[in-house]
Structure formats: C-alpha cells, structure tokens
Amino acid sequence: MAVYRLCVTTGSYLKAGTLDNIYATLVGTCGESPKQRLDRVGRDFASGSVQKYKVRCAAELGEILLLRLHKERFAFFCKDPWYCSRVSVTAPDGTVTHFPSYQWIEGYCTVELRPGTARTICQDSLPLLLDHRKRELQARQECYRWKIYAPGFPRMVDVSSFEEMESDKKFALTKTVPCADPDDNSGNRYLPGFPMKVDIPSLLHMEPNIRYSATKTASLIFNALPA
C-alpha cells in the first residue's frame, strides 16, 4: 500500500471556498490511483485554507504526470465555484511535486493539472502529456475567439455579454492592485478606455505633428464608442 499526501490550498478571495465535493486522481508513469474524495472532519476548502489529505494506492505510481480534480455535487446544494490556488503531492519516497492551478473551477467538471515545471512540447514524449497539451490548446482557442468591431479597429472578444465569460477569464476586482499614490498630485491621469497612465502636462511639450496625431486618434476612438 502506497500513501500519497496532498496539500490543497484554496485562494483567499471572497467566496473562493466551495461546498461541492472534490475528488482527486493521481496519474503516474506506472498507473493511476483510484478516484478518491478529499474529505476530513470539519469544513473542507474554505476560503484561504490549507488542508492535507491522503490518497492510498495499491502500488507506487512512479513519476506523477497529472493530477485530476473532480468537482461534483454535494447533497442538494447548488453549484458553488471554487478557486484552487495550488496542490502539492508528496510521494512515499518523499518527492514533492507542485501542481499550480490559480483558477476558478465552476460547475461540475474535471480539471487536469500538470506539474509546475516549465516544459516545451519537444520535452513531452509521452502520448498522455501530448494529448493533454493538445486538448488544452483547443480549449483556449474556443475561449479566446475574436470578432471585428469595425474595419481598422482592433479585434474584440467574441462574446455578446461580459457575463458569458468564465470567472477565470474576467478581469475581476480581486486581480487589481494599487498602482499610484492617492495623494499624488503630479498631474498624471488615466485617459478613459486606456489601461495606461499618461502624464498629461508632458503632452504640451510634444512636437506639433505628434500632438495632433495623438489628439486625432483619441478623438476617433471616442467618437466610435457606442453612446
């Protein structure tokens, strides 16, 4: 009997915890573990929690290639999103493998995580890892589809509403950080619609042709925005 120890970290964001059942499956070079529920006395997967679990296998799995997290319904409760930060797996021989996640897991689904070692496609020789990379690429292509807003303008995400996007793809308030001193009165301001800080007084010292181009471009963009 081989025992693997899992350390699961839940994000500290608001409502990052979940009431849903979480199961884990370890996939190694010598086989995979049975699907096992991660459960212990008390509340599991609370916001900001770090909890440890054990996964028992009939034999050692060799090098751990993938970690599957299965999120399933708990009793009569509705779907409850979960923000999984990372999972660390300690093998019977003491080897520790880290699986970074840092994503919202919504609905009832299975998420496959790879170890946090940077590897290129040339370094993946196993069919299991190549297939995982292919499916991950296809999922990203389906998520990040682009459409043309107007000829000559940058493309935009092909969604009709912000709510259609997954929580992990939204630029949420939890991802923002302070980037300026609130008492800063140097004249720096944000232009509406531009994710950059512009030193407005310095624009007065620009060359006339450059200043005209910047003003003209901003005017065109603002006029094109829907009312």
Chain segment 57-93, per-residue pLDDT in tens: 999 999 899 999 999 998 888 889 999 999 999 999 9
Task: Between 85 and 161, name the one with better pLDDT.
Answer: 85
**Predicted confidence band of residue 2 (pLDDT cuts 50, 70, 90):** very high
Q: Is residue 13 situated within a structural domain? A: yes
What pLDDT, on the 0 to 100 scale, is given for residue 197? 52
Looking at 75, 91, 119, which one is the last position of a domain?
119
pTM: 0.66
Taking residue 121's Cβ as centre, other Cβ atoms within 10 Å add up to 11
Question: Lowest mean pLDDT: which of 51-55, 87-91, 115-119, 197-201?
Answer: 197-201
Residue 169 lies inside a defined structural domain of this protein: no
pLDDT, position 147: 78
Write out the residue range of the structural domain in which residue 223 sits: 179-227
Question: Is residue 138 domain-resident?
Answer: no
pLDDT exceeds cutoff 70 at 12: yes
Judge whether 141 lies within some domain: no
Nearest to 73 by CA among 129, 20, 109, 142: 20
Q: Using one digit for the tens of pLDDT, what is the confidence trace for 163-212? A: 666 666 655 555 554 444 545 544 444 445 544 455 555 555 555 555 44
| Residue 158, φ and ψ in degrees, nearest 5 | -80, 70
Q: Copy the structure tokens of residue 78.
A: 């509705």
CATH number of the structural domain spanning residue 90: 2.60.60.20
Both tokens of 225, joined, read 């925005």
Percentage with pLDDT > 70 across the chain: 70
Q: Of 45, 44, 82, 84, which is closest to residue 67 (Cα–Cα)? A: 84
Is 156 inside any structural domain? no
Residue 32: Cβ-neighbour burial (10 angstroms; 0-12, 13-18, 19+): middle
- In terms of domains, do 19 and 98 share one? yes
Say which residue, 195 or 160, is predicted with more confidence. Answer: 160
Looking at 119, 148, 165, which one is the last position of a domain?
119
H-helix or E-strand containing 66?
strand 64-72
Domain boundary among 85, 119, 153: 119
Task: Give the HSE-up count for residue 69: Cα atoms under 13 Å, Cβ half-sphere.
Answer: 28
8 A C-beta contact, residue 104 and residue 166: yes
> Quick one: 108 and 211 in the same domain?
no
In the predicted model, what is the mean pLDDT of residues 145-149?
Answer: 77
- Total domain count, the chain: 2
